[in-house]
Amino acid sequence: MLIASISFAWMNICVKYIGRIPIFEVILFRAGITLILSYFILRRKKVNPWGVHHRFLIARGFFGACGLICYFYTLQHMHMANAIVIHYLSPIFTTLIALVFLKERIRLIQLLAFGVSFTGVILVKGFANVNMFDFMMGVAGAFFTGLAYNAIRNMKDREDADVIIFYQPLVAFPVMLMYFLIFPVPPVMPQGMEWLFLIGTGVFTQIGQYYVTRAYQMDTAARISSVSYIGIIWAVLAGKFLFDDTYPLSVLSGMTVVLAGVFLNLNALKFYKLISKIRNLFVPQ
């Protein structure tokens, strides 16, 4: 999940740099790259690209595409850190959806850890200068992402990770083509380095999607989704060194709080046992 967060951070940077290109055009190009990469990877592995659990594969592709549209929109219409902060509602949605539909057990200390991490996110970058429509697009993107990750979690190790990845561009590409057919607009031709950034959106997505898929196949949604909060640190660093953003002392405090929440969630069972031992010392047997 850590590798995935770094890959997605580079994807975010690429999307931010090509802000003049319409969002649907970026997604169409990205889907085309990941579709080709995924297909050749599956051919090389000699794996059936169509998979077995078609209902969940299509759901993963559809909800992932919807989440991506909303997320890329916010990246191009907000400061990068603001867009990512709102997108980090997705781990909370992921955990709650898993609680309701997958019946995954979530300890109170894990919910506390989510609260700690999200408090840190708010400290890093608040919702200043974000209008209501942009905010709701970000929330919708986070919710769709939560649905997509739960579709992955539901398949666990029953589908090859690359098959699951293949279905997102497989669904997203025709959806984007249909959009351009219904609402035809003149394409904006990339220039110079923009071609490299466009290709980067697809390549870094491919890397990130593989590792995030493997992560959700290997552990519970509550534990895995919390690690994604580390991505806010990459966003702050990118903003500082690439986009000349400046951050107050609250940013450093927020980053520390985010990491504390992630550490608490990943070690929830150990903390739970420790609390139980302490409680037993004071409760008569």
pLDDT per residue over 77-119, tens digit each? 877 767 777 787 787 888 888 888 878 777 788 788 888 887 8
Q: Is pLDDT at 22 greater than 80 in this prediction?
A: yes
Q: Dig out the tokens for 114 from the structure.
A: 């989510």
Q: Is pLDDT at 38 greater than 80 in this prediction?
A: yes
Determine if the pTM surpasses 0.95.
no
Q: Give the containing element (helix H, strand E) for 156.
A: none
Maximum alpha-carbon separation in the chain: 76
- State the pLDDT confidence band at 75, using cuts at 50, 70 and 90: confident
* Contacts for 181 with CB less than 8 Å, ≥ 6 apart: none
Q: Dihedral of the CA atoms 170, 66, 70, 198 (nearest 10)? A: 0
Q: Which pLDDT belongs to residue 239? A: 76
Q: Which pLDDT belongs to residue 217? A: 82
Measured distance CA(233)–CA(7) in Å, rounded: 13
- Mean of the pLDDT values across residues 179-200? 87
Which range in 1-10, 105-114, 125-134 is most confidently predicted, on average pLDDT?
1-10
Domains: count for the chain: 1
Domain range for 245: 2-282
CB 272 within 8 A of CB 109: yes
Q: Which pLDDT belongs to residue 284? A: 60
**108 or 207: which carries more pLDDT confidence?**
207
CB 81 within 8 A of CB 185: no
Q: Is pLDDT at 156 greater than 80 in this prediction?
A: no
Q: Is pLDDT at 7 greater than 80 in this prediction?
A: yes
Q: Which pLDDT belongs to residue 178? A: 83
Q: Dig out the tokens for 196 from the structure.
A: 């490299």
Q: Token pair 């999940």 is at which residue?
A: 1
Give residue 261's identity as a one-letter amino acid code: G
Buried (b) or exposed (e) across 130-148, using 16+ Cβ within 10 A?
beeebeebbbbbbbbbbbb
